[in-house]
Amino acid sequence: MSARGALRVLGGATVALFVALAFTPLTNLLYRAYVPPATPPEPAAAIVVLGAGVDNGVLTDSSLRRAFGGVALFRQGLAPLLVMLGPGGAGRSEAEVRVRLALDLGVPAGALLPDPRGRTTRDEARVSWEDLAPRGARRILLVTASEHMPRAAALFRRAGFEVVPAAVDDEPGGTSRPQARLDLARNLLRELLARAYNRVAGYL
């Protein structure tokens, strides 16, 4: 096959993949295959909210959703301690911004533990262990995006925690909006690549 022919086949495959991911339920099926169904949250010793990004002191949508998820679990009385993670860029760290938000939402300062040291999910598992193991808090409610949960839970279990997943959805798995489906597909692809990288590096 000529180079032009190969490019046409690749172009056709790209268009077909785009149409399938955006305009058919394929992405929803892939989501259901990869993400385990949500279970009701159970009491734990601490709630750990994973980082998702801050831009010049403003939390990203995903970060805000996770922070609210953590606060909601705390307000339900499911754990006495709320750990807010997330590194800093320019300005305040994500963890600090989230703690400010949690205080505004009525969480007492004594129940909040910010830690901006973790820059990757594996890092976050390590620093959480350093923060919580001395307090005897091994059973945690882990708050992150549903697509991220399988990898995050595995890394936290490997660090020594007993993990109770408490996922929040960045995009609903049953969405029928084309853009949301494409975002979901991108998140799933990113997770599959990250999982492969973690396996190759021996972290999982």
Partner 1 sequence: METAFILVVTALSTLAAALAARRRARRSLRSAMGRALETIGLGAVFLCVNIGLGFGLILLVRVVTGRFASLYKNDDVTILAVSMLQALVFQWWREPEER
Residue type at 23?
F
Site for partner 1 in 183-202 (CB under 8 A): 186, 190, 194, 197
Task: Count the residues in the chain.
Answer: 204
Residue 55 CA to residue 75 CA, distance in Å, equals: 27
Can residue 29 be called a binding residue for partner 1 (CB under 8 A)?
no
Cβ proximity to partner 1, 8 vs 75, nearer residue: 8
Residue 154, CB-side half-sphere exposure with 13 Å CA sphere: 12
Beta bridge partners of 162: 139
Residue 45 is classified by DSSP as S
Packing angle, helices 178-200 and 3-23, rounded to 10: 110
Cβ proximity to partner 1, 9 vs 133, nearer residue: 9
Can residue 11 be called a binding residue for partner 1 (CB under 8 A)?
yes
Site for partner 1 in 43-62 (CB under 8 A): 53
Can residue 4 be called a binding residue for partner 1 (CB under 8 A)?
yes
Cβ proximity to partner 1, 73 vs 126, nearer residue: 126
The CB-of-140 to partner 1 minimum distance in angstroms stands at 24
The CB-of-96 to partner 1 minimum distance in angstroms stands at 19
The CB-of-199 to partner 1 minimum distance in angstroms stands at 15
Residue 110 is classified by DSSP as G
In this structure, the strands spanning 139-143 and 46-49 are: parallel
Residue 150 CA to residue 165 CA, distance in Å, equals: 9
**Could you tell me which stretch among 4-12, 38-46, 92-100, 141-149 binds partner 1 (CB under 8 A)?**
4-12
Binding site for partner 1 (CB under 8 A): 4, 6-12, 14-15, 22-23, 53, 119-120, 176-178, 186, 190, 194, 197
